[in-house]
Structure 1
Amino acid sequence: SPVVFIRNMMFNVLIRGYFDPDYSLPEFKAGAVHSVCHVSQLLANGQFDDMEGLVTNEVITKLRHRHMDLNENQLNWLSVHPRDCISKRCQIGVILIGEQRFVEITVAVHGIHGFRMYEQAASMGKVEGHPPLNWKNHFQCNYRFIRDYTKGEHDSWTINRLNHFVLIK
C-alpha cells in the first residue's frame, strides 16, 4: 500500500534521526526473517526455554498453552526455513508514552513449504517451469517486534506477538 510505504519511510527517518543512527530497514528485515525462522523451529520443537530473551514471557506462556493442542503434523508446519520465504513486508509504528519511546515493527513473511527443494531440483535441471501452486503448502507468519528506545534504556528487539497460518483455498 502506498500509505504504508510513505508511513514506513517517515518512521525510518524518525528512528535513524532520533533513536538509532545505525538502524537500517533492510538489515532489520534480514534479521527479522532469521528470527522468524529460528523462533518457528524452537516453537515446532517445544523449546520454550530457548525463546527467553527473543520472545516476551507473556507470549511464551501463551505459546506453551497453545502448543499442547497441536498434533505432530501441525507442529512440523510451524517450522519455517529461510529459503522457503518468498516475500517479506513490514509495517513500522512508533509509540510515545510520556518520556518512553518504543518502536514496533510487524513483519509478515509469506512462503511455500518445500520451495527450497523445488529451487534445488530446478537448478539441477530436474524440473521445468514454476513451482506447483498447491495452496496447502503456502504459509503466512506475522511477527511483531518491539524495542524500547527510551533514553537510558539499552534494549534489543523482542517478539511480542506472533502467529502462523496456512493459506488453504
Structure 2
Amino acid sequence: MALPVIRGCCRTPSSFSFTRLLLNDGLILNRSNKTRIPPSSSAGVKAVVRSYSSDQGGQKPVQKVMVVGVTNPFMWFRTRIYYFLIRAYFDKEFSIEEFTEGAKQAFSHVSSLLSKCQFEGLEGLVAKDLIEKLEDKCKVLPLSHQRALSAEPEEIMYTTPADVGIYYDDDGRKFVSILMRFWYLTNARLPDDTVEGARVFQVAFGGEGKVETKRLLTANYEFQREFTQGVTPDWTITRIEHSKLLD
C-alpha cells in the first residue's frame, strides 16, 4: 500500500497525504552540529475517555469514544508563532490542520508495519538509523506487545502537535521538526503493569455480555523536513515512541 504523502510545497485539501519521503543521507545530522531556535515546549494535554453505545430506533449499536484535550494556553500560543514562522520563511502553503491529517495517516501506516516487523516497508519513510534501532527493539517484543503497536485509523482517538522546532546547521541548511502525539485504542492483551499510565476501560457493543476491554495508549512520532532550496520537499520520521513499548 502506498503511503499517503505530506508535501510542504503544495496543498491538496481533499486528500492531504504522506509521500514516501525519500531520505537522503544529508538529512540525518548529528544534533550537536545544529543550531536550534528554541522550540515550543510540549503542550500539556490531558485525555478524558468515555465509552458508550447507542441502540435507539433499532439501529445497530455504535461504539463511541469521546476524548477531551486541555492544552496549556501559553504553549498553544507559542506553537502558533512557530506555524507563522514556517509559513513566513519556509512554506507559505503550510497548514497544521492538513499536516496533522497526513501525520495520522503516516502514524497508522508505520505503526502497522512495526507491529508486523515489516521493516523493509519503513525505508524512505523513517530515518535509516532509526529503522535499525526499531528492528532491534521490535524483534524481542512479545507478540501481544507487537500487536499493541498497531493503530488503525478508526482507533486513533486524539492527535495533537506536542513540539515544533526550527534548526540551522553549520552549512546553512534549514530544518523543521514537528513532534506529534497520538492517543489510540488497542484490544491487545497486556499485563496491567506493562504500560504505565495506560487507561483501561470497557466498550459495550451490543447486547448483554458483549463487552470488550480496550486500552488507551499514547505514541510520539517526530517528523522532520529539510527546507534548503533544491532539496526534495518530503518529511521523514526521525523519532518513534510507543508508551512503554518502544521508549
TM-score with structure 2 setting the length: 0.58
Q: Does 1:158 align with 2:233?
A: no
C-alpha distance in 1 between matches for 2:160 and 2:218: 11
Q: 1:7-86 to 2 correspondence within 5 Å?
A: 7-86=78-157
The alpha-carbon deviation at position 22 of structure 1 amounts to 1.7
Question: What RMSD in Å do the two structures reach over aligned CA positions?
Answer: 2.3
Q: Tell me the secondary structure at the aligned position of residue 243 of structure 2.
A: strand
Q: Deviations over 1:81-113 (max 9, x none)?
A: 111111111121111224211100000001222
Runs of 5+ in structure 1 lacking a partner?
none
Q: Does 1:106 find its partner at 2:184?
A: no
Cα contact 1:36–1:80 (8 A) shared by 2: yes
Deviations 1:61-85 (A, max 9, x none): 0011111210111111111011111
Once the two structures are overlaid, the 10-residue window that deviates more, 148-157 or 103-112, is 148-157
Indicate which of 200, 216, 221 corresponds to 1:138.
216
Structure 2 CA distance for aligned equivalents of residues 78 and 111 of structure 1: 10
Question: By percentage of residues, which structure has more strand?
Answer: 2
Which one has the bigger helix percentage? 1
* Residue 166 of structure 1: how far off its partner (Å): 5.8
Do 1:103 and 1:148's aligned partners in 2 also have CA atoms closer than 8 Å?
yes
State whether residues 95 and 102 of structure 1, in contact with CA within 8 Å, keep that contact through their aligned partners in structure 2: yes
C-alpha distance in 1 between matches for 2:77 and 2:168: 20
Deviates more, 1:94-103 or 1:31-40: 94-103
Look up the equivalent residue of 1:158 and give its one-letter code.
Answer: T
Matched positions, count: 155
Higher relative contact order, chain-length normalized (CA < 8 Å, sep 6+): 2
Instruction: Give every structure 1 segment of 4 or more consecutive aligned residues whose post-TM-superposition deviation is greater than 3 Å.
Output: none
Return the alpha-carbon distance in structure 2 between the equivalents of residues 159 and 29 of structure 1: 14
SS of the residue corresponding to residue 23 of structure 1 reads: coil
Deviation string for 1:103-146 (max 9, x for gaps)? Answer: 000000012225xxx59x4xxxx37xxx98x6x61100100000
Q: Give the structure 1 partner of residue 167 of structure 2.
A: 95
Structure with bigger gyration radius: 2
> Letter of the aligned partner of 2:148 in structure 1?
W
Residue-by-residue CA offset, 1:3-36 (whole Å, 9 max, x unaligned): 2211211111111111112211000000001101
Unaligned runs of 5+ in 2: 1-71, 188-202
Contact persistence 2:117–2:139 (CA under 8 A): no
Q: Which amino acid aligns with 1:73?
A: S
1:47-73 CA-partner distances (Å, limit 9, x unpaired)? 111111110001100011111210111
